[in-house]
Every structure is written in structure tokens, then in C-alpha cells.
Copies of this chain bind each other. A is one copy, B any other.
Amino acid sequence: MQKILLQFDTDPLPSSFDRVVAVDAGVDQLMSYGGVTCENVVPLVHGAMFTRGPEDLKNTAIFIGGSGVKDGEKLLRRVTETFFGPLRVSVMMDSNGCNTTAAAAVVSAARHQQLRGSMAIVLGGTGPVGQRVARMLALRGARVRIASRSLQRAEVACQQVRASVPEAVVEPVETAVVDDWKELLGGTQILVSAGAAGAELMPTGALEAAGDLRVAIDLNAVPPAGVAGIKPADKAAERDGTICYGAIGVGGLKMRIHRIAVQRLFERNDLVLDAEAILELAEQLDRS
């Protein structure tokens, strides 16, 4: 029986990135849909539920993607609500690569610094990937500061992390005007920068000044760097005493997590792979 993946993309044209990865993960038949919304998704889900017997439904799965993470989250909810009884298929949500990228960053950091009890800061922490990073760090027991140019947006992001991870120790920090990066980063072991492409979030000199920093990860692939001094290809490169990763440096792991997660969908018919499950899967992968 062929492995069928239904790709539900919230953008008009379904992501070619997600399509290629699905093929390389071993999917036999990829059925890609663009412009999928909560309004038109139900018949598509019914087509997955009602076409194969319950014992064969593990050979059908759903992937939710697109550039909008909030849209993807809503769609995930709508899809899982449509299932009933044994008539369900496994679902993965990775809009904008948010879960696989964040998991790759968090697992990379954990190679060098125990997360539990650490202090972490997430620059661009209100964005789609940044929020996922903060959530995963909090889930693993790090104290997290979510940094944004807007304190208000950072506070909203903190509340969302707390909603997903009740035990989270998370607080907002404003980074529009930082006089003293050394002071800001004092006592912080982990830094992840997840801002929009083309924005420098941390200036030249800040990385050297951050004496307590053990790992710094910049997820921005397009120049200028989000953290001045980190190169995209950095992969556990030591710079001024800090272990650095760039976007390409974590990219290989991200791709492997993405592929493994897609493969995992076909082992059962009732998995929901969102942030927590994808982080666990990434940790297993990194250990093996």
C-alpha cells in the first residue's frame, strides 16, 4: 500500500521545499494543496479518513505548512477536530519550518549546555520560529527571556509560551535600544537569534562582550547576520569563547529532523507532530 501524504499549505502555491523533503523522506504519493483554509479543509480531511480501512490508515498522513504559523496552528486544530473514533491519520505541522528549525536550534544548544536551569535569550522571539524556540527551551527547563523591539509584543509571546508550557519561567525584554549588551547578556548561557531576514539584531562587539555566553545560534541565512560575527556555515565554531552556529550550520540537522518526522507519520495513524513531539524526535535523532 502506497504511502500518501496530503500537503495542506496555507499559501496559494504549496511549498516546493516541503514537497522535495516529503519525497526524500520516502513518501510515495504526495497530494499537494495550496490555499487551504479552515473553511475548505474538511472535505480534504474526509478524503483521507474515508478511503482506506482503519488498519490501513497509517499509510495516509497530513502535513500542514505555509508561511503563516498562526494559520497553520488553526488549520491543525481544525484537522484534528474533524477526526473521530479510529478514523484518523497522523498529522505534522511545520509552517514556515517553525518546529523543525526550532528543534534543530534547541538540540544544537543542548549539545554544549544543559538546558535545565540555564538562562536563555531568544532574539526575534516574537516571530514564528522564535516563539517555537522559546517554547521548546522552556519545556526543557531553561529560564527564557523573549526579546523584541516591542516590550508589549514580547509580553504577548511570553503569555503564549506559558499557555503551552504551564511551568515555563519566561519573561519579556525590550531590545530596541540596548546601551550595554554585556549587561543584558550577563548570566545568560544560551542565545538564539530568530529574527526576520536582513535585520541585524545584535551589533558587532556584543558577542565578544558576553562573557557568560556558552552557545550562540543565528538562524538567519541571508546577510547581514542577525548576530554580527556569526557566519551562516558556523557549526560549533568557537568565536571569542562562545560556540557558534549559523543557519547552514543547523540546516543539516533541521533537514534530518524534517525527513524523520515525515517518516514517523507513517508508523501509526494517530500522531500529532507539533512542537513538543518534534523536539522529542530531534533529541532522539541527535542521540542516535
Contacts and interface: CB of A to CB of B under 8 A. Distances in A.
B23 A4 contact: yes
A288 interface: no
A175 interface: no
A160 interface: no
**Number of copies of this protein chain within its complex:** 3
A13 interface: yes
Contacts of A19: 4, 31, 47
Given A29-B30, A255-B51, A16 B6 contact: yes
A70 interface: no
**Consensus secondary structure, chain A interface:** mixed
Contact of A43 (B15, B29, B44, B46): B15
A33 interface: yes
A17 B31 CA distance: 11
A52 interface: yes
18 contacts: A2-B24, A12-B35, A13-B35, A13-B43, A15-B43, A16-B43, A16-B44, A16-B45, A16-B48, A17-B43, A17-B50, A18-B47, A20-B47, A23-B28, A23-B29, A24-B52, A29-B30, A51-B255
A51 B4 contact: no
Contacts of A51: 17, 20-21, 24, 255
A31 B31 CA distance: 10
A13 B36 contact: yes
Given A12-B40, A23-B29, A17 B52 contact: no
